[in-house]
């Protein structure tokens, strides 16, 4: 299984954008494009529905040796051998997730400020999502954070930091120039006309941002 430390491009199978029926096919394209890890997110779906889908997706991610993370629900990780759980600020604590699952897993946490980022690291998160970097319909209640906060968080947090929120290929260079090393891209990947090509383009920039940054 690919190490979390080696993950640069994090995709999300968001059932607000992709149907459960089409999710495995989309995941195959993300994997072909070079995604390093992926999360299953379905805000309006039941634990049973998400668990069944996680089983299908896990077959694909296991073959590709990339981690599969589930959003919000530690119960899914109790039923399916996914590699991790991602929690928000209002979800269960990291310690509670680990206790519930009872096996070694990755636990990530969403953060929306420097203070939340450092608190998540102190709480024992394996990685954090930092954002939203830009306005995004998936996080309407959170105003975008300043790009300058990316560098500040990197100075204060040693665990992997994945910048998230409104990031697309067209603005990815700005995020990398601000100091990001890892990113989460959602709608940009899922709504691309050529998912494989778009994913590959994003991965290429994140893996070697020097040309992009020097050209800004």
pLDDT digit string (tens) for 44-63?
A: 999 999 999 999 999 999 99
pLDDT beyond 90 at 136: no
Please answer whether residues 79 and 51 qualify as being in contact, where contact means their C-beta atoms are separated by less than 8 angstroms: yes
pLDDT score recorded for residue 216: 42
204 is catalytic: no
Residue 139 annotated to the active site:
yes
Which of 41, 98, 109, 203 is catalytic? The answer is 41
pLDDT tier at 215, thresholds 50, 70, 90? very low
Percent of the chain with pLDDT over 70: 96
Annotated catalytic residue, options 109, 110, 182, 203: 110
State the residue for tokens 């996680």: 54
Instruction: Show the tokens assigned to 57.
Output: 């997706």
Q: How confident is the model at residue 212 (pLDDT cuts 50, 70, 90)?
A: low
Among 139, 154, 181, 204, the active-site one is 139
For 77-91, write each residue's pLDDT tens digit.
999 999 999 999 999
**Residue 198 pLDDT greater than 60, yes or no:** yes
* Active-site annotation holds for 110: yes
Average pLDDT value for the chain: 94
């Amino acid at each position: 299984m690919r190490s979390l430390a080696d993950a640069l491009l994090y995709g999300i199978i968001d059932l607000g954008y992709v149907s459960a029926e089409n999710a495995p096919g989309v995941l195959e394209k993300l994997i072909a494009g070079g995604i390093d890890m992926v999360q299953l997110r379905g805000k309006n779906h039941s634990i049973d529905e998400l668990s069944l889908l996680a089983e299908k997706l896990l077959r694909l991610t296991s073959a590709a040796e990339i981690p599969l993370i589930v959003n919000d629900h530690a119960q899914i990780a109790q039923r399916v051998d996914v590699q991790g759980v991602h929690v928000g600020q209002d979800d269960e604590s990291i310690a509670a997730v680990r206790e519930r699952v009872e096996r070694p897993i990755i636990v990530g946490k969403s953060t929306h400020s420097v203070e939340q980022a450092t608190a998540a690291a102190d709480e024992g998160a394996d990685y954090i999502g930092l954002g939203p970097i830009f306005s995004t319909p998936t996080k309407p209640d959170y105003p975008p954070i300043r790009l300058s906060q990316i560098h500040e968080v990197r100075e204060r947090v040693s665990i992997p930091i994945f910048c998230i929120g409104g990031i697309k290929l067209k603005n990815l260079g700005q995020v990398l120039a601000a100091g990001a090393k890892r990113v989460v891209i959602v709608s940009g990947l899922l709504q691309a006309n050529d998912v494989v090509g778009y994913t590959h383009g994003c991965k290429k920039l994140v893996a070697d941002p020097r040309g992009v940054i020097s050209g800004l």
